[in-house]
Amino acid sequence: MIQERDIRDQLAALIRREVSLSAFERWLASESWNMFNEGSLEVIELIAAINLLVSEFHDSVINDKQFSVELLSLLNHVRRVLVFDEDLNVIEANPRVLATFRSSMARSPRLVGAL
């Protein structure tokens, strides 16, 4: 099962140019093929945002610099979600991905699955 941490590690390697985009795409495809059965919502949202950026880059909707900036934004954009019980005690604290991306249709940042 693909883990968010593994995706972020590979994404960081891509941003540092330690792996090529095609190698990253092959890795992501091989690791995420079963994400809808076994992946968390955070993993699914992160992969969807990455896949959209890759598609927009390949279609020349965004250039290399924009692509790098957007990938870095995905890497750094983590939000913590706190779940409280009825007495307002924290019962769960999980990081959740809040992924933004540029839509080729709208040309403005949009939100992909927040809380």
Q: Give the residue, 90 or 69, on which the prediction is more confident.
A: 69
In the block, tokens 């540029």 appear at 102
Contacts of 32 (CB under 8 A, 6+ apart): 2, 39, 43, 47
pLDDT at 64 over 80: yes
Helix and strand totals (H; E) in the chain: 5, 4
Q: Hey, which residues does 110 pair with through a beta bridge?
A: 101
Contacts of 70 (CB under 8 A, 6+ apart): 53, 62, 101, 102
Global pTM value: 0.65
Phi first, then psi, for residue 114 (nearest 5°) are -80, -150
Closest CA to 11 of 51, 41, 40, 42: 51
pLDDT at 99 over 50: no
Predicted pLDDT of residue 29: 93
The per-residue pLDDT for range 74-84, each reduced to its tens digit, is 888 765 566 77
Q: Which two tokens stand for residue 80?
A: 């913590």
Per-domain residue ranges of the chain? 4-112
The per-residue pLDDT for range 17-62, each reduced to its tens digit, is 999 999 999 999 998 888 777 667 888 889 999 999 999 999 999 9
Between the CA of residue 1 and those of 6, 7, 11, 26, 67, what are the distances in Å? 10, 11, 17, 16, 27
